[in-house]
Structure 1
């Protein structure tokens, strides 16, 4: 298994609440960006898949834990690693760190969808992810 995909995020003023702490919903934005970049690094381009196969990914479920606050100007690292690749569901583990300190964790369940219905992940996508 290769190491998790790492994506750096700087916390800006707009990411925080009135106290200078990252607003809870922004962690979801951070991990969304990191998931997209992990797929892009694996040569999985969501726009091309949507245009060609009319297939897109949706978040079906998340289990999240807010462990420690991030603050304005922090440099965070979002780590993303596939946990399980099912027929139509991709489970990802995502961790937000500040240096070695874990601030946020999520298990994200991504469903492949076409025409409003769950669909099997295409073989070529599964193959690109299986070696993550």
Structure 2
């Protein structure tokens, strides 16, 4: 049986979120290869869509619609550029929580073209409110434990 298709907003599968990205001309440099900084845009979109798929919308979280206004900030990133992506490639960004603590989420993100791993990132996200570390709401912590 063929695998289920990944929808434009992504899908949760086996403890990870899968998000499709098509490489457009605007994503590339003059050689037709994805410009290195655009991988950060790709993985940011994937994190946002993972939250949306889990039932959390960044606008509602930021505005405090369901309690205190909460902001997620990148505290640290470890990146590896392994192979180039090119114009028209269909990529998949896999996002998987590695560790979740009171106010910090550590994620692994992998950008693939089919079976080839092109880019990896370990991303440390901190939750803030009023410019200070804030405990993640229980429902966000529970839902982030995808597996």
Q: What TM-score, normalized to structure 1?
A: 0.96
> 2:44 pairs with 21, 32, 41, which one?
32
State the SS of the aligned residue for 2:38: helix
**Aligned pairs (5 A) from 1:5-84:** 5-52=17-64, 53-84=68-99
**Aligned-pair distance for 1:3?**
3.7
Q: Distance in 1 between matches of 2:58 and 2:46?
A: 14
Q: Distance in 2 between matches of 1:3 and 1:89?
A: 18
Kindly indicate whether residue 109 of structure 2 is the aligned counterpart of residue 97 of structure 1.
no
Q: Distance in 2 between matches of 1:82 and 1:131?
A: 8
Give the gaps of 5 or more residues in structure 1: none
Structure in which a larger fraction of residues adopt helix: 1
Structure number with higher relative contact order (C-alpha < 8 Å, ≥ 6 residues apart): 1
State the SS of the aligned residue for 1:54: coil
- 8 Å CA contact 2:83–2:118 kept in 1: the answer is yes
Give the gaps of 5 or more residues in structure 2: 1-12
1:84-122 C-alpha deviation (Å, 9 max, x unpaired): 001111001000000000000000101000111111111
1:34-80 C-alpha deviation (Å, 9 max, x unpaired): 00001111112121111122111011110010000000110000000
Kindly indicate whether residue 134 of structure 2 is the aligned counterpart of residue 122 of structure 1.
no
- In the comparison of the two structures, how many residue pairs are matched? 132
Structure 1 consecutive aligned stretches of length 4 or more whose deviation exceeds 4 Å: none
* Residues 123/56 of structure 1: CA separation in 2 closer, same or farther (3 Å cut): same
